[in-house]
Structure formats: C-alpha cells, structure tokens
Structure 1
C-alpha cells in the first residue's frame, strides 16, 4: 500500500454537492518510474508495467474514475495485455472503478496530409478502441491533429491566407480518419470526444457538428489560447451542447514586459488563470454529470482538489 495522502479525494462526498465526478489520468510518470525500477535493475533492456497495477495504486489514493492513456504502450508494450484488461475489469467489480480512454497521440497524426501516416494512425486508434472496449469506457478522447498542424498554426513564416487553407486540409484529413475509425470499430459517434487542442477551435467544432461527435473541454489548453484567442467562458459555452468530458488543469497566457508571450498548461489548480469557480458553476447550471479528469500527477491532483474544496463555494 502507498503512503496515506495528505488530502484524500472522497469523490462521492466531495463531488456530490454539485454532482461532479473527479478522476485522474493513468499516465503518472513518478508512479511508472517507481513500478519499473525492478525491471530496470535487471539491466536487460526489458521494462514491464501493466495498466492494472498503475490503476490499483491510483485507487489506493481514493480515485474511482481513471482515464486510461493508451500511449502507455509506447514504452510499456504489454501494458494493456489480456491479463491486464481482465484485472482492470476486476477492479471495476471490486473497487467500483470506472474508465474513460484517451486515445493514442504520441507519434500519430490522424490529420496528416501524408496518406501512409494517416492510415497508420487510424490503425493504431482502431486497435486502442477495440482493445479497451471490454472495459466499457464512458468516452474516448481524441486529438484530431498532431504536431505538424500545431507547427503550421503558430509559424510566423506562413501567411495568414495560406495558414487558413492548410488548416482546412488538416481538418479534411482528420474527418476522413474519424469516419474510418467509427466505421471500423462500430463506436457510436457521441462516444468519441474531440478535444480542444492546439488546433483552430472553429474547425474542431465544425468536425464535431458534421460527424455528430462529442467534445472534451480542456481547461489548460483553452486558458493558454491553444485553440485560438478566445475567452475561456466563450469556449466553454460553445462546447456545452456536445460536452462529454472535461480535462481539468490550470494554465495561463501572459504578455512579458518585452512584448513576448509566456504560456503554460498542466499546472495544479490555483497556480494559473483558470476560473475554477465559474467553470464549476457553469457546469452545474448546465447539469453536467460527465467525467472531470485531472490531467496532473497524483500529488498535483490532490493539491487541486484541496484547492477546489477550500476556494470554490458550493451552494
């Protein structure tokens, strides 16, 4: 058993006042390093950490909602083996764990204009959906674009007229990939939530509307203006009709004295500019009961829940 946390997130009690369910991501770097040390000590170049083992340790800290990051397989290929999936199912029965899935994004790009890369990305996404389907995830979260789109979006060398055309091309490729993903998996379109990432908000919302997808509102991405220079509340209001999940973490977008811009995300709540009180009040008014996943390390998530408990008034 792990050490007793300084703040234990009793999710049923803490979230009940406004009907919220707080969870946390499976991708916990300090915990993964700790669990992989016995394998590293053998010096054979083989490292094994399974997802169920990580989920068990997370459950010890009081969390009952876990977002399964399928990118874990990049460094731990056996992390979602059949035996691990069976143990994750057992955790559902014995400890009441529920799951969401963050579909893979490392080294993938479903919006790539290079057809071979796009097709390979779809294959990987399909595998992740089919592999984890027995766990009955509430929602599957998808990044519709990769680093290339983000690079073209922010490069000062690209004229604005050309930038718009390029972003449309990325959107078209992403639409093709999503259609293939849905067709090959049989996944209901609303079970797939496209995230507010470093890709134009308008194009993300258009994709969701055209393909009848859900949305994942990422607080740190939005506050740091990665989807564009929009007010936080405006983006939230536009996402609400299709909102299936919230990724909760802090961030900021600030102008330095010399005119340059500094931005950050994935910070514990209270260390940035996310209006947590207004966020939760809006979600409550909308009757949102979906997963709110803290995309933070365990200690940061516990700090954030303590911040919410001490600073966000419940009516």
Structure 2
C-alpha cells in the first residue's frame, strides 16, 4: 500500500506540473474599439469638454491681456542696423540738439557726461563750451562753503528736477523716465521710441481719454501723460537740416541709440576684424591639423601573436 500510494502521489504531482506548463495566462487586451458604446460616448464627450475648456481658458487669458491692446511699432530701415553699418554721427549731433532744446526740460540722462560727446558728435572745444553753459554746485571750499562753478567735461548732464517727487509734482503725478538707456529698456528699441513720438492722434470713437492725458496707440494703455513733444519746425538745426517731425524723431532716436550703446561702432569694427582674421586663420589651422595628424590617422596597427 505504501508503494502504491507513493506511485499515485508521484503521478499526480507530475500531472500537476504538466498542467502548469501547459496552462497559459490569459492577457487582458483593452482598446477603445472593444469598449461598449456607452463608454465610448462618455470618453469622447469628456475629451471634447476638456479640450474645449482648455481652449476657452486660453482664449479668455489672451483676451484680458492689456498688451494685446497695444499697437506694435513697425520695423523702420535704420541706417545703423546693417552688419557693418555705423551710426550716423551727424544725426547724433542733431539728436543731442533735440534732447537739449526739447527733451531735457523733463527727462534726464544721468549716465551721460559731456566728455562722452568728444570725438562722437562734437570736438573737444565744442564739448567744453556746452559744459560751461551749465552751473554746477560744488564744494566745500576752503571756508567750508558750497559754491557754483561752470561745468566741465567730466560733469554729467544736468537733471531737470532735484528728486523724483519734484518730477512727479511737475508732471501731474507721472515720472518722466531717464533716457540714458531708454532704447534698450523698451521692447522695440528705437522703432518704439520713433513710433511713440510720431504716433499722437485723436482717440477713436468710443474711447474717452482723461483730462491731462493724451491718446497714443503705441503707449501701454493708449493714454500717456506726456504732451506731443515734437512737431514740424519745433527747432532750427545748426546745420540747416529741415526740422520736420520725422527728421527730429529720427535724429533723437539715433542719439538715444548711441547713448544706450556707445560702443556700437567699435563692436562692429572688432567683429569685422575677427571675421577677417578667422577667414585666414581657420584654413591654416585646418591644414596644420591634417598635416600633423595624417601620419597617426593613416597608420595601420596589426597584432602579431607570439609564436
């Protein structure tokens, strides 16, 4: 009986092992096509509602942006935008005259000194004369008192107001920005400044502008506290150039571009020298590389096992 029980047990175990080997696990294949019709409709509706909700949210988010109400300035063909084009230094000189006679009444350029004009738009004697036209509070002297003196080349352009509070009080609460880096600080650069200066117009029907503000489509919010600063024949150029509105705006924008980037011409000059030097140096380096490495790159290494 013991022997029979052992044989039966061994046989049943072998049968179970064979059954385990032969049985395959049924894999669950789930696809959209195999779903019932009700679930298909539910998933499709959920996808459509989700996509529509996301699209509506994006549309609402874009619609409430104040920046979309701004009129973007066009791209003007500035003569200094070329790869090897320099600034128009005659225009820089006229632009300084525009700033001095028109813009300096409200706007400062505290990062620009009279010495920066030397060799760019004025000669050194001319820059000294311009500097001496202002009076600078200096001191103290030997007696401990402050005194006024004529300006020097090292002095910076004078500020129209002593502090920001005085500037706000004189401009109905608006603070005129400093113009030293205004071209780099505004999106669009000189295109934006030119469009802003020449873009004053009457507000369209249905748009009310508060008293003391002026409509300008290029300014954020379209209402600007600065009155139209330039117009035809707003000044007389020293070189006799007709002072039309577009000419005045072009000259002051060129001057502001130079003020924000005084290394403009030198940067392009150095870049041109670098390109010319690279055109000569790179082929020589490539030839030397091929010459030096040709022996190593063309050699053949063979392994000879010991006998």
The TM-score range, normalised by the shorter chain, is under 0.3
TM-score norm. by structure 1 comes to 0.19
- Which has the larger Rg? 2
TM-score norm. by structure 2 comes to 0.20
Q: Quick check: which one's strand share is greater?
A: 1
